[in-house]
Amino acid sequence: MSQRSNAISTTCAYCGVGCGIRMQPQDTGYVAHGEETHPANLGRMCVKGSALGETLGLEGRLLQPQIHQRPVSWSRALDAVADGLRATIDEYGPQAVAFYGSGQLLTEDYYVANKLMKGFIGASNMDTNSRLCMASAVMGYKRAFGADAVPCDYQDIELADCVILTGSNAAWAHPVMYQRLVQAKQARPAMRIVVIDPRPTATCDIADLHLPLRPGSDAALFCGALNTMAAQDKLDNAYLVQHTVGTEETLAAAAQWTLAKTADFCGLSAAQLETFYQYIGDSERLLTLYSMGINQSSSGVDKCNAIINLHLAMGHIGRAGCGPFSITGQPNAMGGREVGGLANQLAAHMGFTPQDIDRVSRFWHSDRVATAPGLNAVDLFQAIESGQIKAVWIMGTNPLVSLPDADRVRAGLAQCPLVIVSDLMHDTDTTRAAHICLPALGWGEKNGTVTNSTRTVSRQRSFLPAPGEAKPDWWIISQVAQRLGFAEAFDYQHPAEIFREHAQLSGFENHGQRAFDISGLAQLSNAQWDAMAPIQWPVNDRHPQGTTRLFTDGKFYHPDSKARLVAIAPRLPINRPSNAYPLIMNTGRIRDQWHTMTRTGKSARLMQHCSEPFAQFHPDDCPTAQAGDLLRVSSTHGWLLLRAQPDPQQPRGSLFVPMHWNSQFSQQARVDALIEAHTDPLSGQPESKQMPVRIQRWDAVWQAEVFLRGNASAPPPVAYWSRITQPDVTHFTLADTTIPDDWNAWLDQQFGTGQWVCQSARIGDDGFNLLAWKDQKLQLAFYAHRALPSLDRQAIVSAFTQCPDNAQARLSLLAGRAHGGKSPSGTIVCSCFNVGETAISEALQQGCHDVAQLGKTLQCGTNCGSCIPELKKFIARQREALVAGETP
């Protein structure tokens, strides 16, 4: 284990880049630093990872088991779980129970859950939220290679001649990997970068070519590329003959994708396609990075195979700088795939053939092993709704926010006789639906392994004590298994024991037939496991030091060792716009948030970049809605209230909405409540990025911001609110079409009665500001106007800890300003150094004219680099304003 002084080396809690970090203890907590020796990041960090130390507090944690919201002992809770599962199985059979896991679980947790469900309960209804992010990539690889095996390594980003990013806003979703690409491009400007995305995202900042294709038309683009390469004699015919089958049918299917037809289908010009195809044809080493924009589709598997076809046909695989490279979203999505966490897998890359079932039965010493695939995520929750599933155990995930048709999922879960939830947090949309809540350890407290996008297994090490009565997931599941009568098979005392068993199973009767093989790690002692350095699988007798790149010998995992090209018939999304719902809603991530915000929402710094849920749209699509208005977004399934962000760069006919906000952070912003649950027939992954909607301005008669001391016990009783939690201060943004009757009752509920000193001011015709003090401490700051007030939020939050000590300063605070006339910082652009729009604008006016100069003056953009695309946009806007003779 790499340690510097008393720092602990571990792995980041967030995305599939899987950065190594060092948590350095300080007087006031921990600070995260990039681990220089970790191959995923070589010392780099993004702002989310850097802020991990700010998310370790215990506010909101679930610290004791609960039954029907009442605290109980562990033994009582575990008995209740086991009794409930047993009674369900006895009455309805094993198919009536289900587990739903998460890419946030450690591999050891995942392994034990999968073993209990598929090996001992004897059903396969164990699926995971990874179904929502990369199930299509898994199926694409399995169809092509015979195994779910990512061929590439991050080094390939630096070695490629041409890097294509499709369905990936890596600048925001996988920032450290993106920064690696930025630096590679700077070092080798001849490298070509192509970004394929309907929107001009931050990733386009470094693109030589941006292809703003019609949403969902990617497969045609790659079929067109294959057809053009064939016509130009750019295919690697020797490779195709020796190492693949399916060439003839695949090329025949691609042949119809002429330049004209492809351009028409994808909504691109022939010239754009010619440039794209020329880049591909000219490249010795081609790398394609793809992510949710490809996978979250009703034809996601075909899109993956269209990409892989091109790589196989040109021999761009198994070589440095080459390959079809699926980037996973979650920290341990790959670990879940290894253990069999998806319902269509059994274990350790084995499926449900008689041979695999027999092998796993012998290894686990169980005669109850499941014999057929179970229900995938969307079907599983529909089976709960229909009553087929009577008991479900949800582990470390928030499906009432993240599954499509989320309101229906919520209604279905409300009918389920037994809902068990293991989670860190006390109050989530999903724990609210639980009968039994089990407190799990969180990142920083738990100990195990995770696997990133490049097959690199890394240790996640605990550096914090277990809080309250929280326990590791593997322990909780093992305790239930023991109570169900499987004590011998689940007698684990340490996560390293589980890892060794997992490693042994991966090599058990493998004989090179299964890609996932870490049998070389099966004999690690506990101390060796604890100190294990990151290593890429396969790790076995043949590759004791791990394996950087797969398929270097042209051998694949189909029985004949050949890869499969798959004939693809591209099609557009199932969801299409209509007169009633004329716009397509695209969902995705923002730079500083992660998943449903249960962790990143704790960091006030991360909340400053995008403080409210929003919708970006072209101004022509809703001319009545201006920046600062609220927008009602409706689909056939529900509606949202979001901050309007008209943006002329957003393509007409579509809008972008982030997927993060849950019911704890905003009143009406769970984007998945609007999504129809159409899925890919092969992967079961939902079409989450293309939902027809309509938008209209929402006429608020007042908007306000309210800052309250402490944690608000309940959200305000208004139609629109969104929340930011700051240390010791809760900050709401509010709006409504009326003045709510129960407003005062809500305030009383927050503070109780007592001696308050109030200071108020009417501002113009429609503004009202109020400060309330108790015992010389600011308790509440309230600013209401017809439109959203302009405030110095940092100054207001500071006043809760540093009370203004004179009348003039209090008057400034009442006006929402810092004392001394300093301008509000505006939206924070650089979260690393807390640099806001105002400072950037002033620096530009004072002569800074590029990113480097801004960095020297304000430090912005000099740490993780994630804000550089926004800084460039700022500079461009400033220039445009100067040219137009406007005051910027």
Among 22, 33, 48, 793, binds ligand SF4 (CB under 6 A): 48
Among the candidate windows 155-163, 171-179, 189-197, 394-402, which touches ligand SF4 by CB under 6 A? Answer: 171-179
> How far is residue 641's CA from residue 795's CA, in Å, rounded to a whole number?
28
Least CB distance to ligand SF4 at residue 18 (A): 6
Among the candidate windows 15-23, 218-226, 501-509, 688-696, which touches ligand SF4 by CB under 6 A? Answer: 15-23
* Residues numbered 713-742 forming contacts with ligand SF4, rule: CB under 6 A: none
Residue with the CB atom nearest ligand SF4 in the bound state: 49
Closest to ligand SF4 by CB, 49 or 573: 49
Least CB distance to ligand SF4 at residue 68 (A): 36
Among 8, 17, 134, 585, binds ligand SF4 (CB under 6 A): 17
How far out from the chain centre does Cα 679 lie? 19
DSSP H/E element including 761: strand 757-763
Total interface residues for ligand SF4 by CB under 6 A? 14
Among the candidate windows 11-19, 443-451, 662-670, 692-700, which touches ligand SF4 by CB under 6 A? Answer: 11-19
Among the candidate windows 13-21, 199-207, 359-367, 730-738, which touches ligand SF4 by CB under 6 A? Answer: 13-21
Give the position of tokens 């293309």: 690
Closest to ligand SF4 by CB, 171 or 433: 171
DSSP H/E element including 774: strand 767-774
According to the binding rule CB under 6 A, does residue 657 interact with ligand SF4?
no
Closest to ligand SF4 by CB, 48 or 143: 48
Among 8, 9, 10, 15, binds ligand SF4 (CB under 6 A): 15
* Sheet with 448-451, side-by-side order of all strands: 448-451, 456-460, 535-536
According to the binding rule CB under 6 A, does residue 589 interact with ligand SF4?
no
Among the candidate windows 40-48, 235-243, 247-255, 673-681, which touches ligand SF4 by CB under 6 A? Answer: 40-48
Least CB distance to ligand SF4 at residue 38 (A): 10
Residues 6+ apart with CB under 8 A from 633: 585, 615, 639, 640, 641, 642, 655, 657, 674, 693, 694, 695
Q: What is the full DSSP assignment across 327-367?
A: PPSSTTHHHHHHHT-STT--BTTB-SSHHHHHHHHHHHT-S
Q: Which two tokens stand for residue 598?
A: 């249960």
Q: What is the full DSSP assignment across 533-587?
A: PPEESP-SSS-TT--SSS-TTS--SSTTS-EE---------S----SSS-EEEEE
* Residues numbered 682-701 forming contacts with ligand SF4, rule: CB under 6 A: none
Among the candidate windows 112-120, 169-177, 308-316, 877-885, which touches ligand SF4 by CB under 6 A? Answer: 169-177
According to the binding rule CB under 6 A, does residue 45 interact with ligand SF4?
yes
Among 39, 49, 374, 613, binds ligand SF4 (CB under 6 A): 49
Among 7, 19, 266, 327, binds ligand SF4 (CB under 6 A): 19
DSSP H/E element including 703: strand 702-709
Q: Which two tokens stand for residue 456?
A: 């690199």
Closest to ligand SF4 by CB, 43 or 554: 43
Among 53, 65, 103, 175, binds ligand SF4 (CB under 6 A): 175
Least CB distance to ligand SF4 at residue 50 (A): 7
* Other beta carbons within 10 Å of 848: 20
Among the candidate windows 45-53, 721-729, 756-764, 816-824, which touches ligand SF4 by CB under 6 A? Answer: 45-53
If we measure between CA atoms, which residue out of 751, 118, 637 comes closest to residue 403? 637
Buried b (16+ CB within 10 A) or exposed e, 1-10: eeeeeebbbb
According to the binding rule CB under 6 A, does residue 46 interact with ligand SF4?
yes
Closest to ligand SF4 by CB, 16 or 804: 16
According to the binding rule CB under 6 A, does residue 279 interact with ligand SF4?
no
Task: Count the residues in the chain.
Answer: 888
Among 10, 18, 276, 447, binds ligand SF4 (CB under 6 A): 18
| Alpha carbon separation from 813 to 679, 791, 795, 798 (Å, rounded) | 52, 9, 8, 10
Among the candidate windows 1-9, 16-24, 335-343, 521-529, which touches ligand SF4 by CB under 6 A? Answer: 16-24
Largest Cα–Cα distance of the chain, in whole Å? 86
Q: Which two tokens stand for residue 311?
A: 């790589």
Least CB distance to ligand SF4 at residue 158 (A): 16
According to the binding rule CB under 6 A, does residue 176 interact with ligand SF4?
yes
DSSP H/E element including 641: strand 638-646
Least CB distance to ligand SF4 at residue 485 (A): 40
According to the binding rule CB under 6 A, does residue 374 interact with ligand SF4?
no
Closest to ligand SF4 by CB, 173 or 585: 173
Q: What is the full DSSP assignment across 74-101?
A: HHHHHHHHHHHHHHHHHHH-GGGEEEEE
C-alpha dihedral, 123 to 338 to 351 to 249, nearest 10°: 140
Q: Which residues bind ligand SF4 (CB under 6 A)?
A: 12, 14-15, 17-19, 41, 45-46, 48-49, 174-176
